[in-house]
């Protein structure tokens, strides 16, 4: 008993060593340990991207480029869709699947085209996403394609418990597929059905894989995480149009920089009758619908 | 060091109690273990193939798992119904049963956490929620709040129960300085866990069925029906199979409290139904889907009306003094309450909230067989833990099993049992 009392105030070499080791391990884990991809230092991000490229090469048997192109300063993207022109052909849906490496089985589609009755107007309660006539458009109907509305006040990023989804500086709402835990709170929170979950292992035939990818966009996703439209971040940050804008046969889709006063998107907002979906929810979308004719 | 030794004696003593039992006890344990094995196999299949083995899809992205989670948070919260009068008002008859409420809370929270784990797509990334390694989106994300309060509530109840039993095992009175503040803390926390869970749905403007300020009070009301219903069963069984004395008065008092809770529950549901049907906005769709079906999609309609009927039956039985004192009608009332609240809080909350989906599509959800097996396995784990804890708690609280009857540990200190000397 006496001996233990004497020893008590001293720190033994072993105690000191184990405390120091624990502190070092803690420091290493917090400094170099796993982190959300958008907050790791650039050199570590490069290593992570190289690891992704190796993984995809092994999986698909061909070289895949994973870019980390940052947002262009002075750019805030916006989108506009002319409801009076859209014919409901769904070419945008499939161009999007091809461009963004969505799973072919089970099928994931980021764009959903709703057929609506002209008598009822924009009414989700009577919309039909499964229309299958031989030719479109059908009499008495019009079409409203819906994908991520890239809200300025996004309900989805707010609810994410791990902060795995956020708004980039150019206004694109993105997901870190390596950090998402698949709780699907964001899917419950999204008023536009824009978020999609990989319920099964996503499969993309190697032959149709788009090898030009972005780490926050169209790189192949694992099972059990959420994905969504990123306005083709891998294209638009390099000055190209999103795939859906390019493919639209009637030119109903417009895309551009909201901060550029001479852009087409600004012209549309200033000169046409523009609306947003579910305005009453105060999500403030950067995706506008308009009637040009 | 001696505290550690004492605690290990307590643990080994508890293991001894658990290992002894009649055939009925072992039969029950075997049934639970079988369900757990089946659940584990189903869960392995889910891990391997993904959540595609459930019936959930993008349109209905939460289902049976999250419904059960919500219901069980309520069961855990309901422990306060018993704790408040027991500790605050020193009301004798309920005081002896309050500890069972806490045991129930511990098992219920355990099941809640397991249901969340079963529901998430990447359980291997669970640590992403845990700082400093992970990142918790606090205070913005309500799920982050929920994880914090559920784990704290679990810890508080676990510590109180373990402390009381540990002290009783060593034939000492529990420490009031530790127990009283923790119990007082657990009362607002119980209300807190259920309120936060309600806010998880309540805060989503995309889902009008949930986006109603009546949701949190309604959650509490139905929780204070269902939690005690389970406990009334457990207490009657305890009385039958052990020497534990629980006065009739205590059970009847719980039944009376349940009647008031059920009235409040029915009233709040009525208020919500009135608002929806009378104003008849486009938000009526979800309530219509639940009570009437939409465009021929009527899967949930029988469930909706059985929940209403069961709740009304339970209310009538508990509000009438004669029927809540009659054991047959009391138990029918408990069963009706449990079933009614389970339907209304599980499927009745989650599914109509998501159907039709935000773009108007109706996907009729019904849990897959794999989902049912996983859920049954989780319930079996909860019941197993509850059974084992009761098995330990009852003899210790009755002073039938103390350190004297658990010869174990260091030979020099252990007493030689009398019976061993006789043989």
Cβ-Cβ contacts under 8 Å between A and B: the total is: 149
Residue A175 to residue B147: CA distance in whole angstroms: 22
Query: What domain range is B327 assigned to?
Result: 208-230+255-367
| B126 in A contact zone (CB under 8 Å) | yes
Note whether residue B421 is domain-resident: no
Count of all residues that appear for chain B in the document: 423
Tokens (6 digits) for B19: 């290992």
Task: Say yes or no: domain A77-291 is CATH 3.30.70.20.
Answer: yes
Please compute the mean of the pLDDT values over residues B380-409 and round it to a whole number.
86
ipTM: 0.89
Contact list in B for residue A202 (CB cut-off 8 A) is none
CA nearest neighbour of B105 among B142, B68, B155, B144: B155
- Looking at the fold, whether B267 and B294 belong to one and the same domain comes out as yes
- Looking at the fold, whether B310 and B383 belong to one and the same domain comes out as no
Q: How close is the nearest chain A Cα to the Cα of B133, in Å? A: 6
List the single residue in A26, A125, A190 with the smallest CB-CB distance to B360: A125
Residues 261-300 of B with CB under 8 A from A: 282, 285
Count of all residues that appear for chain A in the document: 293
Q: How close is the nearest chain B Cα to the Cα of A19, in Å? A: 18
Whether the Cβ atoms of residue A199 and residue B56 lie closer than 8 Å to each other: yes
Q: Which residue is closest to B52 within chain A, CA to CA?
A: A199
B410 has a pLDDT exceeding 70: no
CA nearest neighbour of A189 among A216, A217, A165, A209: A165
Residue B415 to residue A68: CA distance in whole angstroms: 71
- Interface contact B206-A184, CB threshold 8 A: no
Tokens (6 digits) for B312: 């009304």
- Looking at the fold, whether B212 and B75 belong to one and the same domain comes out as no
Predicted pLDDT of residue B419: 42
Note whether residue B162 is domain-resident: yes
List the single residue in A112, A180, A191 with the smallest CB-CB distance to B122: A180
Residue A263 to residue B212: CA distance in whole angstroms: 42
| A203 in B contact zone (CB under 8 Å) | no
Predicted pLDDT of residue B415: 45
B369 has a pLDDT exceeding 60: yes
Note whether residue B13 is domain-resident: no
- Looking at the fold, whether B184 and B264 belong to one and the same domain comes out as no
C-alpha to C-alpha distances, A97 to A81, A151, A195, A288, nearest whole angstrom:
19, 22, 14, 22
Measured at the CA of A73, the angle between CA A67 and CA A79, to 5 degrees, comes to: 80
- Looking at the fold, whether B74 and B152 belong to one and the same domain comes out as yes
- Interface contact B51-A197, CB threshold 8 A: yes
Q: How close is the nearest chain B Cα to the Cα of A129, in Å? A: 8
- Looking at the fold, whether B279 and B194 belong to one and the same domain comes out as no
Domain ranges of chain A: 77-291
Residue B331 to residue A8: CA distance in whole angstroms: 60
| A181 in B contact zone (CB under 8 Å) | yes
Predicted pLDDT of residue B421: 40
Segment holding A31, helix H or strand E: helix A13-32
Contact list in B for residue A190 (CB cut-off 8 A) is 206, 358
- Looking at the fold, whether B221 and B185 belong to one and the same domain comes out as no
Q: How far is CA B336 from the centre of its chain?
A: 17
Could you give the number of structural domains in chain B? Answer: 2
CATH of the domain at B75: 1.20.1630
- Looking at the fold, whether B221 and B322 belong to one and the same domain comes out as yes
- Interface contact B354-A155, CB threshold 8 A: no
Q: How far is CA B195 from the centre of its chain?
A: 15
Q: Tens of pLDDT along A141-193?
A: 999 999 999 999 999 999 999 999 999 999 999 999 999 999 999 999 999 99
Predicted pLDDT of residue B418: 42
- Looking at the fold, whether B167 and B184 belong to one and the same domain comes out as yes
Q: How far is CA A124 from the centre of its chain?
A: 23
The DSSP code for B386 is: H
| B142 in A contact zone (CB under 8 Å) | yes
Which among B50, B55, B287 is the top mutation candidate for probing chain A, defined by the most A β-carbons within 10 Å of its own β-carbon?
A: B50
Note whether residue B412 is domain-resident: no
- Looking at the fold, whether B216 and B101 belong to one and the same domain comes out as no
- Looking at the fold, whether B121 and B176 belong to one and the same domain comes out as yes
- Looking at the fold, whether B221 and B302 belong to one and the same domain comes out as yes
Q: Tens of pLDDT along B59-103?
A: 999 999 999 999 999 999 887 666 776 666 666 666 666 788 889
Contacts 24+ apart (CB under 8 A), B82-87: B82/B228, B82/B231, B82/B254, B83/B183, B83/B186, B83/B187, B83/B190, B84/B187, B87/B180, B87/B183, B87/B184
| B47 in A contact zone (CB under 8 Å) | no
In the Cβ-directed half-sphere of A158, how many Cα atoms lie within 13 Å?
15
The DSSP code for B411 is: T
Please compute the mean of the pLDDT values over residues B47-57 and round it to a whole number.
97
Note whether residue B236 is domain-resident: no
Contact list in B for residue A163 (CB cut-off 8 A) is 135, 137, 141
Predicted pLDDT of residue B100: 83
Handedness of CA B270, B271, B276, B280 (dihedral sign): positive
Q: Is B256 exposed, middle or buried, given 0-12, 13-18 or 19+ CB atoms closer than 10 A?
A: middle
Residue B290 to residue B353: CA distance in whole angstroms: 9
Note whether residue B413 is domain-resident: no
B117 has a pLDDT exceeding 70: yes
A25 has a pLDDT exceeding 70: no
Note whether residue B8 is domain-resident: no
């Amino acid at each position: 008993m006496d001996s233990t009392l004497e020893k008590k105030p001293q720190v033994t070499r072993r105690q000191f060593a184990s405390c120091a080791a624990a502190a070092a391990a803690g420091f290493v884990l917090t400094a170099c340990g796993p982190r959300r991809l958008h907050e790791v230092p650039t050199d570590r991000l490069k290593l992570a991207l190289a690891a992704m490229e190796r993984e995809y090469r092994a999986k698909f048997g061909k070289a895949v480029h994973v870019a980390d192109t940052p947002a262009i300063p002075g750019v805030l993207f916006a989108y506009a869709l002319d409801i009076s022109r859209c014919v409901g052909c769904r070419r945008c849906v499939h161009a999007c699947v091809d461009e963004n490496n969505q799973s072919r089985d089970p099928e994931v589609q980021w764009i959903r085209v709703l057929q609506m009755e002209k008598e009822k107007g924009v009414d989700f309660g009577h919309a039909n996403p499964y229309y299958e006539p031989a030719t479109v458009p059908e009499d008495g109907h019009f079409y409203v394609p819906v994908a991520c509305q890239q809200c300025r006040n996004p309900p989805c990023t707010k609810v994410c418990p791990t902060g795995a989804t956020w708004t980039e500086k150019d206004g694109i709402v993105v997901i870190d597929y390596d950090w998402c835990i698949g709780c699907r709170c964001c899917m419950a929170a999204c008023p536009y059905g824009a978020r999609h979950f990989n319920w099964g292992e996503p499969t993309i035939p190697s032959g149709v894989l788009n090898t030009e990818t972005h780490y926050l966009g169209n790189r192949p996703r694992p099972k059990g995480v959420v994905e969504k439209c990123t306005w083709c971040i891998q294209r638009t940050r390099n000055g190209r149009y999103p795939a859906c804008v390019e493919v639209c046969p009637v030119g109903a889709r417009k895309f551009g920089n909201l901060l550029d006063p001479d852009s087409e998107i600004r012209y549309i907002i200033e000169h046409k009758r523009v609306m947003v979906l579910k305005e009453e929810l105060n999500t403030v979308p950067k995706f506008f619908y308009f009637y040009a004719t | 060091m001696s505290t550690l030794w004492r605690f290990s004696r307590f643990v080994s003593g508890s293991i001894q109690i658990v290992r002894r039992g009649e055939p009925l006890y072992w039969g029950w344990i075997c049934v639970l273990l079988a369900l757990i094995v089946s659940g584990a196999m189903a869960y392995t299949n889910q891990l391997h193939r993904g959540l595609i083995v459930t019936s959930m899809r993008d349109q209905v992205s939460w289902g049976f798992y999250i419904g059960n989670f919500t219901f069980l948070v309520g069961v855990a919260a309901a422990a306060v119904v018993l704790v408040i009068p027991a500790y605050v008002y020193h009301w004798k008859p309920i005081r002896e049963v309050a500890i069972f409420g806490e045991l129930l809370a511990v098992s219920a929270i355990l099941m809640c956490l397991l249901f969340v784990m079963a529901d998430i797509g990447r359980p291997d990334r669970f640590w992403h929620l845990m700082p400093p390694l992970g990142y918790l989106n606090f205070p913005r994300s309500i799920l982050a709040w929920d994880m914090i309060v559920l784990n704290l509530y679990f810890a508080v109840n676990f510590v109180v129960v373990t402390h009381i039993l540990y002290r009783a095992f060593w034939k000492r009175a529990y420490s009031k300085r530790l127990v009283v503040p923790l119990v007082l803390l657990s009362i607002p926390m119980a209300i807190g866990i259920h309120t936060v869970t309600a806010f998880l749905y309540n805060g989503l403007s995309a889902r009008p069925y949930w986006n109603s300020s009546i949701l949190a009070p309604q959650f509490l009301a139905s929780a204070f029906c269902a939690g005690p219903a389970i406990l009334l069963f457990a207490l009657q069984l305890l009385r039958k199979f052990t020497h534990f004395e629980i006065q009739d008065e205590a059970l009847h008092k719980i039944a009376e409290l349940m009647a008031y809770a059920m009235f409040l529950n029915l009233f709040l549901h009525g208020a919500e139904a009135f608002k929806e049907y009378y104003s008849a906005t486009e938000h009526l769709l979800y309530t219509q889907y639940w009570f009437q079906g939409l465009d021929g999609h009527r899967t949930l309609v029988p469930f909706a009306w059985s929940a209403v009927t069961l709740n009304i039956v339970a209310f009538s039985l508990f509000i009438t003094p004669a029927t809540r004192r009659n054991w047959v009608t009391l138990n029918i009332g408990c069963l009706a309450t449990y079933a009614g609240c389970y339907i209304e809080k599980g499927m009745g909350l989650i599914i109509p909230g998501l159907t039709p989906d935000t773009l108007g599509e109706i996907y009729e959800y019904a849990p897959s067989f794999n989902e049912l097996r996983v859920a049954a396995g989780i319930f079996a784990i909860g019941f197993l833990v509850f059974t084992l804890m009761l098995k330990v708690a009852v003899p210790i609280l009755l002073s039938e099993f103390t350190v004297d009857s658990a010869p174990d540990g260091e030979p020099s200190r252990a007493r030689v049992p009398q019976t061993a000397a006789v043989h």
